[in-house]
A = this chain, B = another copy of it.
Amino acid sequence: MMLVVTYDVDTTNASGQKRLRKVAKICERYGMRVQNSVFEVLFDAAQLVVLKHELEKIIDTEQDSVRFYRLGNSYERRIETMGKRPRVEAGGALIF
């Protein structure tokens, strides 16, 4: 299934930048960074548990916001883009 992860963090301070880098590193292991703080992840239920557990350890729950949007299996029809595109669209390089 496709999951979209959006991460809102204050990157004007060094610790926020560091957390964003860590979150990106984890999400990129599971999927692709399509915008600076938006990740499209193909996952199964077990991977989602691991992903959330890893993110919980990194984020500052008082300051940061993470939102998860489940697009399901037929996700292609749910995604549209405008403007600059990432180098590789999801479903291309995303192999698990």
Q: Which residues of A contact B (CB under 8 A)?
A: 4, 6, 8, 34-38, 52, 55-56, 59-72, 77-86
Contact = CB atoms under 8 A, between A and B. Distances in A.
A86 to B, nearest CB: 7
Given A6-B35, A36-B8, A38-B8, A84 B63 contact: yes
A45 to B, nearest CB: 13
The A contact surface, by secondary structure, is strand
A27 to B, nearest CB: 13
Nearest to A78: B70
Contact of A79 (B8, B34, B67): B67
A68 B52 contact: no
Contacts of A85: 65
Given A6-B35, A36-B8, A68 B61 contact: no
